[in-house]
Structure 1
Amino acid sequence: MEPMSDDQPQPTPQPERRRHVSAPVTRRALALVAIGAVIAAIATIFVSGGFDRGEKLPVHTSGVGPQPTGAVAGEAFGSATTGDCLTWSSADASDLEKVDCAQAHQFEVATDVDLSLYPGVEFGPGSKFPGVLRFSELRDEHCAPAVNNYLDGRFDPKGKFSVGLINPGEAGWAAGERTIRCGLQFSGVTGTLLPIEGRVAEQDQSKVWNVGTCIGINQNVPSDPVDCAQSHAFEVVGVIDLASRFPGGMPSVEDQDKFLEGACTEAGNGYLGSPDTLRDKTLTLFWDNLDLDSWLVGSRKINCSIGKEVDGSGFATIVGSAKGAILINGQAPVPPPPAPEGRSVPTPLPGAAPLPPAGG
């Protein structure tokens, strides 16, 4: 059995207005993350895809699922149907088993699709096992809309879950198995499957990490969670629920930023233990924004994070949690000179006019 995902790389978090991460960094991060996802797709059968609607095959979406298909593809695979949660540890998912969805798992089945009913001879007896790209097309045509239906139209395409497909593997295919399973996964940037706990329909799909999580780095671009003692791009200092401030309709990005500037600053100061730590360690505070697609399906949470930009080309490499001693690109940060006495002024945005003199 071979799982594959519809991993959608997510944008680099948007900066706050005064502690600025430049737009070119964001654009470059997005481009490199997308390239990395495609490379990972070819190597590990994790390919990103969209929501193209193709000709639909008969699918099982009720409690009456498929019949077990024998031991070639595995009993759990052969009998898995809508609402089942699956897990495995081997790279080819040959040890796939069903578990209670409250336990950590890697796949939640939305539906099964019988390819033997596909018109023509492409999937008929004795047909060649499809390649990665063909399975990715099948996922986009059948799994993406099936997942959206499974969640009653409340799938967040920019959230932390992605559309996935499990095929029966070459041995199962050779023995005549033609049923694939469509479902939901939590895929990292590199294609690594991260654990899911609980049913997706019962949780906020916002792409947030727990406070204290460090996100790894690859060629100056954020990757997957790592231990903070390892090289990373940024560290999560807060999770903010926008519903606490905006219980009604979606707020504009400007209104989100006005609220998050204070909320993330408070979260960061609380996490670091002092309002001076961020400045002394020469780090930048930034946050995510939610867009309309995510808001309409119920996503409400964002991350506040800290990292450091490098010459407009990406993130610096940080080692160690910002709560303690850190290295930035291999060097200990040098605190800037203390602010002069008198009125406090914000750090101007790049390209802004000079600030007036303190006595002006």
Structure 2
Amino acid sequence: MSSENEPANRPGLRGGPSLRSRTARPGRGRKTDTARPRPGGPASPDTPDHDRGAVRTPGRGKRPGAAGSRPGGKGIPKRIPAPRLRWSLLAVAVGAIVAALLTLMLSGFDNNSNLQARSPGGAVAKADKVFASVAPGDCLTWTKPDHSDLVELDCAEEHLFEVTDTVDLSRYPGAEFGPGAVWPDSLRLTELREEHCAPAAQRYLNGRFDPRGKYAVGLMYPSNDGWNNSGDRILRCGLQVPGLSGNPLPNTGRVAEGDQSKVYEPGVCLGISQNLPTDPVDCTQEHAVEIAATVDLSARFPGGPPSREDQDKFLEEECGRTTNDYLGGPHVLRDKTLTVFFDFLDARSWLAGSRKLNCMVGKGADQEGFAPIVGPARGRVLIDGQEPVPPPNSGRSTPTPLPGAAPLPPQPEPRPAPR
């Protein structure tokens, strides 16, 4: 019988019109009549099989040889005795346990840490162990971008990160860093660095951190995998020498035991990008400035921080003298149309113990910043791709050194822990 949603003239099973039930009118207590089958229409439920033309499908009857089809119960499956069945199941269980133990012995145990180490003693597992055990005062280094070769070493050796503090975000109140919390984005990590690591640097150095000096505050944090899968919430604050390109530079010695002055050795050339100095490069490559000398202001100013005017007056004379000595004579600057630049130390740097500045040789650009130079200042140089043309001799052999702020170290981007 068709439902109420089916069309009344839908063809029946055998090609005739389908039948619809007739419902008694409300209130008369009449029952639903069963429609009589029309000729050629579907059979009613009471029609015998032979009248319906139905055919018994194969397989509905008893098959020859099936259970119960033979006299005397022949063909009934033979049952296994209970004791024998129990011993068989026990043997299977023992075999499965032995196979599992052999597999673990051969392949090693997997862990659920963010390193996903496949076997004990792997390089990544060692890096994870190092990161989990370091404390303030320890020094770390690595060569791979994912820090999977992270090692702790003596701070007297070249390293990239000196730990100043450990922060456990799981102790934060609220659900921001709780189980199931979303991995912090770069903006939030930068806020955490300023909130926790900047004060940690001051505490670590007893209030003598130079924010304009050689070092910058760094942060290492759990990787996305470690955060989500292992629940790692540990941050490591530290100090590092920031490269202007964003990558840290090697350093030797503890920060507290050295001078935080941002200086380079004479002969070092700083690369150029968008007319501004970058990281040290070979002087045969394009660069912005070349370091000519390092001046220690403590010899001239043994007391408190000097004013910027006093520094400029002293450095103009001192950088002019030391640069001429470096280049081989006062005529070199004039003939190569180069200029001497120097920076200054503010009160914060002075109180933190910084006393040194660089004298730099370069060429000011027509607009802002520096012009690209190729070649060492004591040899053949090209400025903006051209040979410098010496100006007419005006009787002044050396251009006046110019105070020019050296590029400040950028705050390094927070870096993920080994993963």
| Interval containing the TM-score (normalised by the shorter chain) | 0.7 to 0.9
- In structure 2, relative to structure 1, the CA distance for the partners of 1:152 and 1:252 (3 Å cut) is same
The question of whether the paired residues in 1 share the 8 Å contact of 2:158 and 2:251 is answered with: yes
Does the alignment pair 1:86 with 2:140?
A: yes
Q: CA shift at 1:349, angstroms?
A: 11
**Partner of residue 237, structure 1:** 292
Residue 236 of structure 2 aligns to which amino acid in structure 1? R
Residue 216 of structure 2 aligns to which amino acid in structure 1? S
The question of whether the paired residues in 2 share the 8 Å contact of 1:86 and 1:107 is answered with: yes
Q: CA shift at 1:288, angstroms?
A: 1.0
- In structure 2, relative to structure 1, the CA distance for the partners of 1:349 and 1:289 (3 Å cut) is closer
**Partner of residue 3, structure 1:** none
**Partner of residue 45, structure 1:** none
Residue 113 of structure 1 aligns to which amino acid in structure 2? V
The separation in 1 between residues aligned to 2:286 and 2:202, in whole angstroms, is 36
The separation in 2 between residues aligned to 1:73 and 1:274, in whole angstroms, is 53
The separation in 1 between residues aligned to 2:138 and 2:390, in whole angstroms, is 53
Three-state SS of the structure 2 residue aligned to 1:74 is: helix
The separation in 2 between residues aligned to 1:324 and 1:112, in whole angstroms, is 49
The separation in 2 between residues aligned to 1:72 and 1:123, in whole angstroms, is 26
The separation in 2 between residues aligned to 1:294 and 1:348, in whole angstroms, is 26
Three-state SS of the structure 2 residue aligned to 1:234 is: strand
When the two chains are superposed, the root-mean-square deviation of aligned CA atoms in Å is 2.0
Residue 286 of structure 2 aligns to which amino acid in structure 1? S
The separation in 1 between residues aligned to 2:218 and 2:142, in whole angstroms, is 15
Q: Which of 325, 328, 332 in structure 1 is aligned with 2:383?
A: 328
Three-state SS of the structure 2 residue aligned to 1:164 is: strand
**Partner of residue 252, structure 1:** 307
For the pair shown, the structure with the greater C-alpha radius of gyration is: 2
Q: CA shift at 1:253, angstroms?
A: 1.4
Q: Which of 199, 208, 221 in structure 1 is aligned with 2:276?
A: 221
The separation in 1 between residues aligned to 2:348 and 2:181, in whole angstroms, is 40
The separation in 2 between residues aligned to 1:300 and 1:238, in whole angstroms, is 14
Instruction: Map Cα deviations across residues 34-53 of structure 1 (whole Å, 9 max, x no partner).
Output: xxxxxxxxxxxxxxxxxxxx
The question of whether the paired residues in 1 share the 8 Å contact of 2:271 and 2:278 is answered with: yes
Q: What pairs up with 1:148-159 in 2 under 5 angstroms?
A: 148-159=202-213
Three-state SS of the structure 1 residue aligned to 2:319 is: helix
- In structure 2, relative to structure 1, the CA distance for the partners of 1:207 and 1:349 (3 Å cut) is closer
The question of whether the paired residues in 1 share the 8 Å contact of 2:330 and 2:397 is answered with: no
- In structure 2, relative to structure 1, the CA distance for the partners of 1:122 and 1:115 (3 Å cut) is same
The separation in 2 between residues aligned to 1:231 and 1:170, in whole angstroms, is 38
Q: CA shift at 1:338, angstroms?
A: 2.5
Three-state SS of the structure 1 residue aligned to 2:131 is: helix
Does the alignment pair 1:169 with 2:223?
A: yes
Q: CA shift at 1:92, angstroms?
A: 2.1
The separation in 2 between residues aligned to 1:280 and 1:73, in whole angstroms, is 54
Three-state SS of the structure 1 residue aligned to 2:365 is: coil
Q: TM-score, normalised on structure 1?
A: 0.74
Does the alignment pair 1:99 with 2:153?
A: yes
Higher relative contact order (CA 8 A, sep 6+): 1
The separation in 2 between residues aligned to 1:345 and 1:187, in whole angstroms, is 38
Three-state SS of the structure 1 residue aligned to 2:175 is: coil
Q: CA shift at 1:254, angstroms?
A: 1.6
Q: CA shift at 1:228, angstroms?
A: 0.6
The separation in 2 between residues aligned to 1:73 and 1:156, in whole angstroms, is 31
Q: CA shift at 1:157, angstroms?
A: 0.6
The separation in 2 between residues aligned to 1:349 and 1:222, in whole angstroms, is 18
Structure 2 alignment gaps of length 5 or more = 1-123, 403-419
Three-state SS of the structure 1 residue aligned to 2:349 is: helix
**Partner of residue 110, structure 2:** none
Q: TM-score, normalised on structure 2?
A: 0.64
Structure 1 alignment gaps of length 5 or more = 1-69, 351-360
Q: Which of 228, 236, 240 in structure 2 is aligned with 1:181?
A: 236
The question of whether the paired residues in 2 share the 8 Å contact of 1:82 and 1:112 is answered with: yes
- In structure 2, relative to structure 1, the CA distance for the partners of 1:126 and 1:156 (3 Å cut) is same
Q: Which of 199, 202, 206 in structure 1 is aligned with 2:257?
A: 202
Q: What pairs up with 1:18-37 in 2 under 5 angstroms?
A: none
The question of whether the paired residues in 2 share the 8 Å contact of 1:236 and 1:305 is answered with: yes
- In structure 2, relative to structure 1, the CA distance for the partners of 1:245 and 1:215 (3 Å cut) is same
The question of whether the paired residues in 1 share the 8 Å contact of 2:127 and 2:150 is answered with: no
Q: Percent of pairs identical after alignment? A: 58
Q: CA shift at 1:121, angstroms?
A: 1.6
- In structure 2, relative to structure 1, the CA distance for the partners of 1:268 and 1:116 (3 Å cut) is same
The separation in 1 between residues aligned to 2:289 and 2:130, in whole angstroms, is 39
